[in-house]
Structure 1
Amino acid sequence: MGELRLSYPACVIAGKMRLTAEDIHILRDHVFVSGVTTSQDAVILLAINSSCTEKCPEWHHYFIETMTGFIVRHCYPQGSMDDWNTDWLIAMISTRGVVNSRIELDLLFHILDVASSIPDSLSIFALEQVRLALTEKSGVWASMRGGPDRQLNKADVQLVCRVMVAIARSRAASLTERETTMLRQIGILSGINGRRAAAA
């Protein structure tokens, strides 16, 4: 794969230590005049996000909304995620199956929140971030969640619930076998089953 070459003024912005609100205006007015409409545009935005260590508060909203607009609303199938787009997203925001940064984790879950339909490869990938934090203390979520290791806390459950809502929106109450296995690994289904057995 060839090296990504950024044109002016994207290359100047990517070379900065801190992204400012003015940089966002430049990107809107001079780099992505029609918005992010190609995978190359999206890769440029991801590269800028990764290269700049400090970001203004406005960047979080701009990055997530712009990337979501491209991946979910612009790409086919519009409004939904398919396996191809999911594979592309995973390749762009993770390394060996682990999401690279907090803003990219927020992007992942925002896409889950707004997509009308998702494949189980996307739900599994999102749930895997919770599993990694619980069982291996690795990944972005491990540093964000707080609470004791290997025990589900409120923040974990809230994240899992967002995935479950996306699954329900896609396939009603139907879980795939892979999703069921992942939920058991996290401890969601085993906890439910245990409470049912105790009640009986």
Structure 2
Amino acid sequence: MRLTIYELGSSLEKLLSTLKKNRENVPLETLRTVYKEPYEALLRQINETASEFVREIVITDIPVNPDASIDAQSDLINQTIDESGLVRQISLCLSHTYNVHKLHIIALELRRQIEVALEPYIAMKNCLVADPENLDADPIIYNTITRKVYENNAWIERDLDLSGKLLIYIKQPKDISQPIMEENTNEQIPENISEYAHQPATADG
């Protein structure tokens, strides 16, 4: 059964607490030699749990445009992750501060940066919602991906009944769905949006 963010966070806290106690009470060289097998098993468990925890926060239900290039959006997500500098901070949380709360905050910031980067793709689904039976009423600005309305200079979640309504989409630049990243023959970019989550967060000594 899939664990929730809170269950993963609780499990990670216990694992990091064990790692911290081990490092505080046993020389690192002894952990790496005498207790090599259980120590490495603990590190693997921390990496797996931390990766799942971060993936749940950063990637799960991230809004993407199904009608635009998924490869381009995937590249943009991975570019944002790479350029954020936050992956290093995630690693430090695990191996030096052992702080799950801080890890959670960093992961939320990474998700925010990804959502900002994807905004041009999400904006392709901005539309005006008009009621044909009441054309004198001001149309509602609505996004069909996020299911939010725009009012008072902010996007707000609201259930909107679209039955019988007229949706007018704003024309977007033709090249918005083309890959945004420049080709880099020296770097492998994961093709799958969720592949980042399979890169273990470093927690070794």
Could you say whether these structures have the same fold, taking a TM-score greater than 0.5 normalized by the shorter chain as the test?
no
Higher Cα Rg, which structure: 2
> Is the helix fraction higher in 1 or 2?
1
With normalisation by structure 1, the TM-score equals 0.24
**Which protein, 1 or 2, shows the higher relative CO under an 8 Å CA cutoff with sep ≥ 6?**
2
Q: Which has the higher strand share?
A: 2
Q: Taking structure 2 as the reference length, what is the TM-score of the superposition?
A: 0.24
